[in-house]
Amino acid sequence: MKKIKFLLIPLVLSFSVHLCAQKKGESGAYYDYGIRCQGVEMDGTVTLESYGKGRNLWDAGEQAKKNAVSALLFNGIKEGNGGCSSDPLLISSSPETVHEEYFAAFFADDGPYLEYVSVKDERILRKMKRNAKKSKNMQQRMVVVRVDRLGLKKMLRAENIK
């Protein structure tokens, strides 16, 4: 009887660990990564590491650009090397809902937000080895983007958005 217990316990434990690992891998779960500051340039731009999700790699990359601009406008950059300002450009309470129509047009596909973001600082090896994860119907991608913070500030003043 003692031999059966000693054989049965490791067998049950290994089987349960195998099932848990299999379910975890099959779920296709994604982690939400924050936008991280990589550096501040002298021309008023900030270099950010941003993540996006989409149905393919291109959509995920575009969403990462939108997320970087959105973070600068509404949330501020709180992670990274600390060079970026942690304060958002729009400090008023819920500016995205007050100016909902404006920001819906601003963040539309091929919208005006593209004037303020580029992937100029991304190195060629980084482009080849981007952090891309996928499941059956979603892709997640990390992109290093450069966002024109001063340009966004000027645009907000010109449009009288506070």
Residue with token string 């907000």: 156
- Give mean pLDDT in consecutive 10-residue pieces for the chain, a chain of 162 residues: 53 46 43 79 88 88 92 87 80 76 90 88 50 67 90 90 78
Domains of the chain, residue spans: 33-158
Q: Residue 42 CB: number of other CB atoms within 10 A?
A: 5
pTM score above 0.85? no
- Spell 112-148 as b/e; 16+ CB within 10 A means b: ebeebbeeeebeeeeeeeeeebeeeeebbbbbbbbbb
Residue 14 tokens, joined: 């290994």
pLDDT of amino acid 100: 86
Return the pLDDT at 18.
43
How far apart CA 64 and CA 131 sit, in angstroms, is: 12
